[in-house]
Every structure is written in structure tokens, then in C-alpha cells.
């Protein structure tokens, strides 16, 4: 007999970043979600809004989703019903970010009930996966960017990703040339414009970057603009990666069917949790696109271990929850030598403390 949800509790945790993502982005916000079931099982999940909308997501969870799910089955299979229930407030964005908190908690509870991990429930297919070093580093001076890439190389990463989008693309080209010199010829270099360009600027910049052989260009254009992506596809052969700002499987299908995306990058939280993430991964596979989950390596890795294909795991320097001192217990994941291995023995293994255990000053040099 399926357990029933007795209560849903939501907290708010603001986490200082050891390495700011911009001069004005020094914290990220997590909303830990606890689902209590009538069989005594407690599931732990979270929603994540790095800089925008945490209060709105918390209110959506508390006022809309928690009352709806209380008294219903503690089963992530109800995700579609819940999404349809709240769709009036928007098909994606606040609604899906909020849904993720409960979806993760229900998967965590299911795995704990079965005495295994979420990866175990899904069926583990990989013992380890490759990790690429990633940095929110457009604001770094050149010497600090180069030093960061040197750290990634020393740590064994076979691929790295850096930000582009300076007002003058020639400056980006110079920075990328310095990065490529550190990487050498045999490591992959991904670049990420974070939606900063229009089509003309993107096409011009990408032509300048040919010499550094980018493995992909991520979010070259505003993610909502499918027509612009069609035009850019006509003007560049460079693989295009996107997805962190698409929120539903329907939008992923639009971009895949238009033939404008080569690397699909769903963020597990922004798409609404594990349930829709798995459906999006299936869709990408059907359409012949690669998949590389966006951020949250301690979550993304656990799901990617269960996918048929081997995928890259993105690891932003000094930004794992464990590094930031906000986890109540170890996830059991081991990051090193450019790979991730291991995982929790039960559930997701991602349970948050009330506050970071170390002040940012004790966790390393600022990236600003």
C-alpha cells in the first residue's frame, strides 16, 4: 500500500559563496523541503533559486503545493497531476522550481523506504562519470582566469568551461587563447555566453573563437527565442548547448524538433525535479542529442549514473554544497581526478543544516 503525505515543511537557507559568481552575487538560496509520510518515512528534497525568486517559490510551495499534496499518495508519479493543478500560474519557472522540492523529497522517501539510494531505485549503469571544471568567471581578470584553469588541469579535468560575453568579443578571444594555451590540444574547452548575444554578435564572436576549437557554445542567445536559434544554426556549425533556462519537456521538444540544439542541459530543479528530468533525458536520447545536466553535481551525478549514456557532470569550482558546509551528512560522492564516483547508501543523501558551518573567508580566496 502506498504511503500518504502527512505534511510538507519548507525552510529557507541563504548560503554564502566561497567564490562569488559576480560582484553582486555572493550568496545562493536553497529551500529545503521535508515531506513526512504516514508510514513514518521522511523524505528530504530542495528547491534552488540562486539569486531570484526564493520568496515566491517558498510561498508557492507553502500555499499551493503543500496543501494539494497533503493527504495524497507519497508518489512522484503524481507529478503530472500536480503540474496540471498549478499550471494556471505558469507552466514553468516558479511552478516547476517549487514542484522540484516535493518531487525530490518523494524520491528520497521512496528510496529510503526500499533501503537503497535513488540511483539504486533507478538502476545504476555507471561506476564513475567524467567531470568538467566550470567557473562563473566572466568578471575574473585574465590572470585569475588562467590560474583557475591551471587548478582544473592540475586536478585532472579533461574538459573545462569558461564564460564569454565581454563587450568586445576580441577580449573574449584573447582570454580563450590564454585558456587554450593552459589546456593544451587534448582537452575540451566549452564556452558559455549566458544569453548575452543577439544573432549577429553571436555569429561574429563564434567566428573569432574558431582558433581555440570550442567543444560547444552554451546559451549564445536568449533562451526563449527559438526563431533566433534557427537563424544562428544557419550561420554556425559549432555545437549549441542549452536547456538551463527551459522549464518543461514541451520547450525542450520545440528546440530539439527545430534542430537547433546539440547538447541538452536540463537543470533538475528548474524543470521540476527527477521525474521530468528523466523524461527530458529520454526525449534527448530519442532525438539523438547529447545530454549534460546543468549544475548541482551532487544531484545531477546521482541521476546520470542511471542513464544509459555516459554524460559530463558540471562542477563549478568551490560551489558544491559539501564545499559550502551546508550538508548535514556526507553524500558519499567522491570527486577527484576529473571523475565522480560513489553516492549515498540511502535516498538522495542531500539533507541541509540550518546554516553554513564555515564563514566564506575560511573556504578559500574570493573570485571577485
**Is 139 assigned a catalytic role?**
no
Strands (E), the chain: 5-10, 13-16, 27-37, 42-49, 128-134, 159-163, 188-192, 216-218, 240-242, 263-264, 290-291, 313-316, 333-336, 339-342
Considering 44, 157, 163, 247, which one is annotated as catalytic?
A: 163
The model's pLDDT over 69-98, given as tens digits with 9 standing for 90+, comes to 999 999 999 999 999 999 999 999 999 999
CA nearest 319: which of 49, 25, 18?
Answer: 18
What is the C-alpha separation between 201 and 228, in angstroms, rounded?
12
pTM of the predicted protein model: 0.94
Looking at residue 361, its pLDDT comes to 37
* Per annotation, catalytic residue among 44, 126, 157, 294: 294
DSSP 3-state assignment of 181? helix
Percent of the chain with pLDDT over 90: 94
Q: For the chain, which domains are there?
A: 5-117 (3.30.390.10), 119-363 (3.20.20.120)
Q: What pLDDT, on a 0 to 100 scale, did the predictor assign at position 365?
A: 32
The yes-or-no answer on residue 157 being catalytic is: no
pLDDT beneath 50, residues of the chain:
358-368
C-alpha–C-alpha distance, residues 266 and 249, integer Å:
9
- Residue 367 phi/psi, 5-degree rounding, is -90, 0
Report the candidate in 343, 243, 272 with the shortest Cα–Cα distance to residue 303: 343
Amino acid at each position: 500500500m502506498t504511503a500518504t503525505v502527512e505534511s510538507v515543511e519548507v525552510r529557507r537557507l541563504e548560503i554564502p559563496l566561497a567564490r562569488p559568481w559576480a560582484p553582486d552575487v555572493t550568496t545562493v538560496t536553497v529551500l529545503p523541503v521535508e515531506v513526512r509520510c504516514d508510514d513514518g518515512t521522511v523524505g528530504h528534497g530542495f528547491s534552488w533559486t540562486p539569486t531570484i525568486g526564493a520568496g515566491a517559490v517558498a510561498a508557492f510551495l507553502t500555499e499551493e503545493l503543500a496543501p494539494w499534496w497533503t493527504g495524497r499518495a507519497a508518489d512522484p508519479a503524481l507529478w503530472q497531476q500536480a503540474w496540471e493543478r498549478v499550471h494556471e500560474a505558469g507552466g514553468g519557472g516558479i511552478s516547476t522550481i517549487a514542484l522540484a522540492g516535493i518531487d525530490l523529497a518523494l524520491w528520497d522517501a521512496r528510496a529510503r523506504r526500499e533501503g537503497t539510494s535513488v540511483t539504486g531505485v533507478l538502476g545504476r549503469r555507471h561506476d564513475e562519470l567524467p567531470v568538467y571544471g566550470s567557473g562563473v568567471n566572466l568578471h575574473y581578470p585574465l590572470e585569475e582566469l588562467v590560474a583557475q584553469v591551471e587548478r582544473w588541469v592540475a586536478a585532472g579535468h579533461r574538459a573545462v568551461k569558461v564564460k564569454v560575453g565581454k563587450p568586445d568579443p576580441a577580449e573574449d578571444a584573447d582570454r580563450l587563447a590564454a585558456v587554450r594555451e593552459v589546456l593544451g590540444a587534448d582537452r575540451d574547452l566549452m564556452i558559455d555566453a549566458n544569453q548575452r548575444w543577439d544573432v549577429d554578435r553571436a555569429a561574429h564572436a563564434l567566428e573569432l573563437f574558431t582558433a581555440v576549437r570550442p567543444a560547444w557554445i552554451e546559451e549564445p542567445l536568449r533562451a526563449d527565442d527559438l526563431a533566433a536559434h534557427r537563424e544562428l544554426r544557419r550561420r554556425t556549425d559549432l555545437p549549441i548547448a542549452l536547456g538551463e533556462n527551459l522549464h518543461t519537456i514541451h520547450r525542450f521538444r520545440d528546440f530539439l524538433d527545430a534542430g537547433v540544439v546539440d547538447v541538452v542541459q536540463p537543470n533538475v530543479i528548474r524543470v521540476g525535479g527527477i521525474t521530468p528530468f528523466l523524461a527530458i533525458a529520454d526525449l534527448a536520447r530519442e532525438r539523438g542529442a547529447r545530454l549534460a545536466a546543468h549544475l548541482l553535481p551532487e544531484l545531477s551525478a546521482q541521476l546520470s549514473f542511471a542513464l544509459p549514456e555516459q554524460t559530463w557532470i558540471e562542477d563549478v569550482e568551490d560551489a558544491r554544497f559539501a564545499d559550502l558546509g551546508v550538508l548535514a551528512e556526507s553524500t558519499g560522492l567522491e570527486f577527484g581526478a576529473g571523475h565522480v564516483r560513489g553516492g549515498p547508501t540511502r535516498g538522495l543523501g542531500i539533507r541541509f543544516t540550518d546554516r553554513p558551518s564555515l564563514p566564506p573567508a575560511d573556504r578559500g580566496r574570493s573570485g571577485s
